[in-house]
Amino acid sequence: MKNMLLSVAIISVLAVTGGTAASAQVTDTIVADIPFGFMVRDTTLPAGEYTIKRIDSTSPGVMEMRSADGHEALVFLAGTALANKTPDQTELVFDRIGDQYFLTEIFEIGNSVGVELQKSRTERRLKKGGAVAEIPSVVVPVKTGINAKR
């Protein structure tokens, strides 16, 4: 009985965690010119042009962000996000707390299912300390990509 319960529990955990990464949506390479410094997870990146893409189709929740000059690059995990309304352009969504920006979501044009990044330690610490997002979200439209609004 214990083995059966353990098996059910393991299968349930795998189904939940595997389903989240597998349903994360960003199908194209996205290029965006981000006009402010920002954080992805616990990495601070300067303003500039960045390319964002999935690493490969077998791991849709694993993404890469690289600066145009090649000086900045990082790999991060993303889960599934649902937009309140279907976006009419491909966009990056940032939370702003004080003078800091945190990349939180990515949505492609016409798709209400996107990706969501986990909160960084810095963002969690700021919110725990009572800081509130001054602007709930800042949207940066992308410059290029197959699904970018032209």
pLDDT in tens, 16-28: 444 443 445 667 7
- 145 close to 139: Cβ distance less than 8 angstroms: no
Please check whether residue 64 lies inside any domain of the structure. Answer: yes
* Of 65, 77, 83, residue with least CA distance to 118: 77
What pLDDT is stored for residue 11 in this prediction? 40
Is 148 contained in some domain? no
Residue corresponding to tokens 């352009």: 89
80 φ, ψ (degrees, to nearest 5): -95, 140
Q: How many C-beta atoms surround the C-beta of residue 16 within 10 A?
A: 9
Chain Cα centroid distance, residue 114: 8
146 in a structural domain: no
Q: What is the domain extent for residue 117?
A: 2-141
| Within a domain: 147 | no
Predicted confidence (pLDDT) per residue in 68-85, tens digit: 998 899 999 999 999 988
State the total domains in the chain: 1
Q: Is residue 100 part of a domain?
A: yes
Report the alpha-carbon distance of residue 146 to residue 112 in Å, rounded: 17
Query: Is residue 97 in a domain?
Result: yes
pTM over 0.75: no
Please check whether residue 117 lies inside any domain of the structure: yes
Q: How confident is residue 134, by pLDDT bands cut at 50, 70 and 90?
A: low
Q: Is residue 28 part of a domain?
A: yes
